[in-house]
């Protein structure tokens, strides 16, 4: 699996448990709460600032910006042109 620029772990703010059916910028993440956001056209995120809106049924939304630093690409080691970022996102029940 190739490295992705941003990985989100979506959790319930009250108990830290998983959140069912989270979405990032309107795209479903899957039931596990692990989100790998994409560009609006479905392409991979890259270096730069990414605006994300995280929601789930029965929860409020959380907006965040993630800065993805650039890195020197290295074709010999298959390193991407960015430093991958991971964020924990806590959603609050409505």
Q: Which tens digits make up the pLDDT trace of 35-61?
A: 988 887 778 888 889 899 999 999 999
- Please tell me what DSSP assigns to residue 22: -
Above pLDDT 70, what percent of the chain?
Answer: 90
CATH classification at residue 18 = 2.60.40
* Main-chain dihedrals φ then ψ at residue 87, nearest 5 degrees: -135, 140
Q: Which residues contact 52 (CB under 8 A, 6 or more apart)?
A: 6, 8, 24, 25, 37, 63, 64, 65, 66
1 assigned to some structural domain:
no
Residue 76 counted as domain residue: yes
Which range marks the domain in which residue 54 is found?
6-91
| Predicted structure pTM score | 0.85
The total of structural domains in the chain comes to 1
Please give the distance of CA 56 from its chain centroid, rounded to a whole number. Answer: 14
């Amino acid at each position: 699996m190739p490295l992705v620029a941003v990985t989100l772990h979506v959790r319930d703010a009250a108990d830290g448990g998983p959140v069912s059916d989270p979405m990032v910028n309107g795209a479903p993440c899957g039931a596990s709460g692990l989100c790998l956001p994409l560009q609006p056209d479905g392409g991979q995120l890259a270096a730069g600032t990414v605006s994300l809106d995280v929601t789930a049924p029965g929860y409020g939304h959380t907006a965040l910006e993630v800065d993805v630093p650039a890195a020197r690409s290295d074709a010999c080691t298959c390193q991407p042109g960015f430093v991958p970022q991971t964020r924990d996102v806590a959603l609050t029940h409505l």
